[in-house]
Amino acid sequence: MSDYTITQVYPSDACMIARVDELLEAEGIERDGNLDYTCAIVDEDYRVVATGSCFGNTLRCMAVSSAHQGEGLMNELVGHLIEKQYERGNMHLFVYTKVTAAKFFLDLGFYEIARVDGTLVFLENRHDGFASYLSALAKTRRDGRSAAVVMNANPFTRGHRHLIETAMASCDTLHVFVVSEDASLVPFSVRKRLVCEGCADLPGAVVHASGPYIISSATFPSYFLKDAATVNEGHARLDAAVFCRIAEALGITERFVGEEPTSQVTSIYNRVLCEELPRAGVACTVIPRLAQGDTPISASNVRRALQVGDLDALRALVPDTTYRYFTSEEAAPVIERIKAAGDVAHY
């Protein structure tokens, strides 16, 4: 490393960003849309010979120029990113990488969580991280037939409640997983609270935080996958692989998903789950969306109502528990965030 320097790359530095993108492109990688720290290893002429990034507690977009491979630069790069993560207080780290690169991270002390053969491997830096998560879940296991739903609930709507009620008609216990990532306009703490309050009268419903193992499509890393279809398939197949382990820990025999007729992403996701889960003995059932007139009830429509202050529309779309929250003073910061967001129809 005597001839090289590691430097932070700032989003405002268009020249360095262009050099990073050029290296990534040469190595068959596209810069991920979700990054909050980027660095570059540069030579004495300030040419970028390696680069890597972070987002939350993940390492992303790592590449070394083909002309400089074999010089130990990837080790230096990953070591720097891990140190930066520790400085930021992120001790539990995750990596999504190509299958061909997995051994490198295993040799660095990462441990495999799950993989999609031929596409990607999901790893973490704790040898017992996923096992501890599964062990904690197993303590909530109940006798009888168990099923599950996974939801972002951004926020909790009458449609979410309908999905839960429909699923509960087929099981004794329904495990409801709320995506923990704070990548939504409604913070996770509020989303989970509204799900808990909205299900409080259903003793068979057990609400869980998804933790770091079930992630949203909004932040799924896409930098080493070639196109949008591959990204969507990869996310769904990885989610299925992780969920099968969760299902085993909880004795879950069926997962229910909501139909999303207008979303190609969700259509792909549901199709893959319906293909993959039965191979592990878990049925996958798609539930038609609850509609208001001819329009399916969606969280996007709830956010639109909040954005324009239409309380009548809001009341028609959400349970009383959600309505009470959003008409309270406590919700003011969240509503302001939604109003400032512009387009609120996204995930």
Range of the domain at 105: 92-127
State pTM to two decimals.
0.92
Verify that 174 and 120 share a domain, yes or no.
Answer: no
133 belongs to a structural domain = no
Shared domain check, 170 and 112? no
Which segments of the chain have a pLDDT < 50?
Answer: 347
Q: Tokens 């959600």 sit at which residue? A: 322
Which domain-ending residue is among 80, 105, 127?
127
Predicted confidence at residue 347, as pLDDT, reads 47
Strand order in the sheet with 205-209: 205-209, 173-178, 146-151, 252-258, 283-287
Nearest to 29 by CA among 218, 225, 234: 225
- H helix runs in the chain, sequence order: 14-26, 73-87, 102-107, 129-138, 158-168, 188-198, 228-250, 264-276, 299-308, 311-317, 320-326, 332-339
Which neighbouring-strand residues pair with 149? 176
Domain boundary among 127, 154, 181: 127
Same-domain status, 237 and 268: yes
The answer to whether residue 347 sits within a structural domain is: no
Contact 31, 24 (CB under 8 A): yes
Nearest to 180, CA basis, from 212, 138, 217: 212
Residues 186 and 271 in one domain: yes
In a domain, 326, yes or no: yes
- Could you tell me if 39 and 21 lie in one domain? yes
What are the tokens at 228?
């949008």
